[in-house]
Structure 1
Amino acid sequence: MEVLKAAGDREAAGHHVVHMEVGQPGAPAPRPVLAAARAALKDGRFRYTDALGIRALRERIAAHYGEAYGTEVAADRIAVTTGSSAGFNLAFLAAFDPGNRIALATPGYPAYRNLLGALGLEVVNIETSADSGYVMTPEMLVAAHERAPLAGVLIASPGNPTGTVMHPDALRTLVQTAERLGIRFISDEIYHGLVYAGIAETALKHARHAIVVNSFSKYYCMTGWRIGWMVLPEDLVRPIERIAQNLYISAPDISQRAAVAAFDATEELEAVKAGYAANRQLLLDKLPAIGFDDFFPVDGAFYVYASVRRFSNDSVDFTRRMLDEAGVAATPGPDFDRERGHAWMRFSFAGTGEDMAEAVARLGRWLG
């Protein structure tokens, strides 16, 4: 967000900036979603809904699991949330007690760590590497649990900032290990649908007691609508409902009505994804020649997590200079990995193809 603000300041001063700092789709919400919202506006009456969401949306989300994964999920286990951010808050509040230890893979999304810390939960960072395929392994989880008992583990596949996708067998064995050890498993699946290499499998295939968090923000291009969902084990449905009633009553009525139509926009959304895939290929082809030849596998999402060691030992300073001198905004690594992030940065390729080509050209001139 600080990089975005600095980029906005440069634009206000008359400079053109290529934005690669924020993980936000460049495309608008799909046409069926906009049409459903317009139809709802004709009614003009928007109210509180049930805390778990309107029945039509919960049923449509449940049907999605059968269509996309061949997995049966009851609508009664679905909770509609104000984006995935509310989902993580609800999961942490309902599933854990202050002082509990929660394992996270690093590098990873910084809001997990920040939210857990704010709630009095202890974050246990588990470093990944090329040897593990840049994912947490059962052996890593067991070792962390043996040092001191873990109450939970949170996994994202595809991941942010890396875009790494866990192989289905790797996910299955990790889920089963967590269940055997009595560790609550939370699966961040908000980048499902945006996979270019491999398969993004839902944790629900392997564990009925997993908590799954998803969102309409990424694949469905609905960031500002603030709408997401959770799939819950039966024992957490009522606690989540009670907490949600107190935190925000319900997700926005109009966003819920519109989101029902998102599942009817596959053709349009796949065209948007094809644009991301073209951007991804452009960066994979061009970045190594510029000097960014060390990066995590770009399996999914819309990020390249690249090393800056060839140019700097301080990615915060490097990204600041890159913005000031080349007009390209990207995110430095310390947010994602406090120990090793100084050597890394994240490029988002969610923008237009023209922007990606311009970014590569600017970086080539700047570093050449």
Structure 2
Amino acid sequence: MPLKVGRGAEAPPFLVMDVISAANRRAAALPPGAPGILRMEVGQPGTGAPRGAAEAAIRALSAGAPMGYTEAFGRPSLRARIARHYAERYGAAVPEARVAVTVGASGAFPLAFLAAFDPGDAVAMAAPFYPPYANILTALGMRPLLLPCGPETRWQPTVAMLEALDPRPAGLILASPCNPAGTMLPPAEFAAIAAWCERAGIRLVSDEIYHGLTYGTVPETTAAAVSASAIVVNSFSKYFSMTGWRIGWLVLPEDLVRPVECLAQNLFISAPHVAQVAAEAAFDCGEELEANIARYRRARAGLLQALPRAGFDRLSPADGAFYLWADVGHLTNDSVAFCQRMLAEAGIAATPGVDFDRERGHRFLRFSYCGPEADMAEAPRRLAAWLGRPGPEGA
């Protein structure tokens, strides 16, 4: 008799991970001296952890102290430092007791979803969206409710969209800056959505992992400053350039503190001890981190100028994060095949839009610009040559 396979095993793939694998294989197969693969698919900084963070970890390991379990919500000193961050950056009073250190943002989402929602609950989110939102919800028996968004709302949901929902969902995931479009909600619109959620009894989950990676077009807003019932998710992976350290955090409303703590105790025990030590030190590495942002800012500006001349002239505004969401409907109606050809023929890895929008993503792709600056400058030239366009120099 065949053995049962759980419904959680049916979660769809996160396609960008498949693109990463394909790009790795392509790079390994290149002959010596051949032009390398330009990596514009991956959403992780090209820089490593800030020096001060790495040195703090080295000191802790060299001291010989055991790196054992911490409290489920993390080291008290790190939780206090995160709380201080909210006061310094946003002027928001966040008690240390409401901060939970997690195994990256990826570990924070299932804790938040399990504590806030029940199987069968609908949770709304803008489309395009970060795929694991929907995939984690589905694996947990919850229902993603997609709100198709477009350039007219800057790829973000509106109160009018939410008002039109019937029945209303149990929750809303909001991301500002968002992945894949990199757009942000102006503070008044963000606050209006948060207030609507409170009135409607809908739990707001605010994904803020790209905070810090913004370019001055729209101010950052944290849900911790505008809603007492919202859940905030953040991470050291993006602004702090610590993806592989697997360290993130939650800011929780009072009613979910103990439920999330119990879940964390059972599911994860605690985030890695040494990563917590490094993360606390990363807050004091502002100069190095801001230098990283300056690199992204230059790459962003160069691509926004050069990509249209290379044939990619329908781009998202890119207020934050390090992504450009490109409408390539004039070039293809199959973004998966288009990205495969781009990798094979132009040596550029990008992510097909179907990863982020299953209905409309066949005509979109996502470019990431957090790789080496030289690669970001080279990409439009290669794309122009591939598409037979005059390119940046000939425009």
TM-score (norm 1): 0.98
Cα drift, residue 206 of structure 1: 1.0
Superposed CA deviations along residues 292-349 of structure 1, whole A, max 9, x for unmatched, are: 1112111000000001112111000000000000000000000100110000000000
Counterpart of 2:219 in structure 1 is 199
| Residue identity opposite 1:245 in structure 2 | Q
**What's the secondary structure of 1:103's corresponding residue?**
strand
- Native 8 Å contact 1:172 1:206 kept in 2: yes
For 1:331 and 1:307, how far apart are their aligned partners in 2?
Answer: 12
2:309 corresponds to which of 289, 300, 303: 289
Counterpart of 2:330 in structure 1 is 310
**What's the secondary structure of 1:34's corresponding residue?**
helix
For 1:80 and 1:336, how far apart are their aligned partners in 2?
Answer: 27
| Residue identity opposite 2:240 in structure 1 | Y
Backbone CA RMSD of aligned residues? 0.8
Cα drift, residue 135 of structure 1: 1.1
For 2:75 and 2:232, how far apart are their aligned partners in 1?
Answer: 19
For 2:92 and 2:297, how far apart are their aligned partners in 1?
Answer: 27
For 2:361 and 2:220, how far apart are their aligned partners in 1?
Answer: 26
- Native 8 Å contact 1:29 1:222 kept in 2: yes
| Count of aligned pairs | 366
1:273 corresponds to which of 293, 298, 311: 293
Counterpart of 1:3 in structure 2 is 19
Cα drift, residue 12 of structure 1: 1.2
User: Which has the larger displacement, 85-94 or 14-23?
Assistant: 14-23
For 1:194 and 1:13, how far apart are their aligned partners in 2?
Answer: 34
Counterpart of 1:224 in structure 2 is 244
**What's the secondary structure of 1:293's corresponding residue?**
coil
Pair 1:181-2:200 in alignment: yes
Cα drift, residue 131 of structure 1: 2.4
Q: Which runs of 4+ in 1 moved over 4 A?
A: none
**What's the secondary structure of 2:382's corresponding residue?**
helix
Cα drift, residue 143 of structure 1: 1.0
Pair 1:108-2:121 in alignment: no
Cα drift, residue 164 of structure 1: 0.4
| Residue identity opposite 1:309 in structure 2 | G
Runs of at least 5 residues in structure 1 that lack an aligned partner in the other structure = none
Counterpart of 2:84 in structure 1 is 63
- Native 8 Å contact 1:291 1:310 kept in 2: no
| Residue identity opposite 2:81 in structure 1 | R
Cα drift, residue 149 of structure 1: 2.7
Counterpart of 1:142 in structure 2 is 163
Runs of at least 5 residues in structure 2 that lack an aligned partner in the other structure = 1-16, 389-395
Superposed CA deviations along residues 235-257 of structure 1, whole A, max 9, x for unmatched, are: 11111111011111000000001
1:365 corresponds to which of 376, 385, 394: 385
Superposed CA deviations along residues 78-135 of structure 1, whole A, max 9, x for unmatched, are: 0000000111010001100001110010101000000000011011100112222321
Pair 1:92-2:113 in alignment: yes
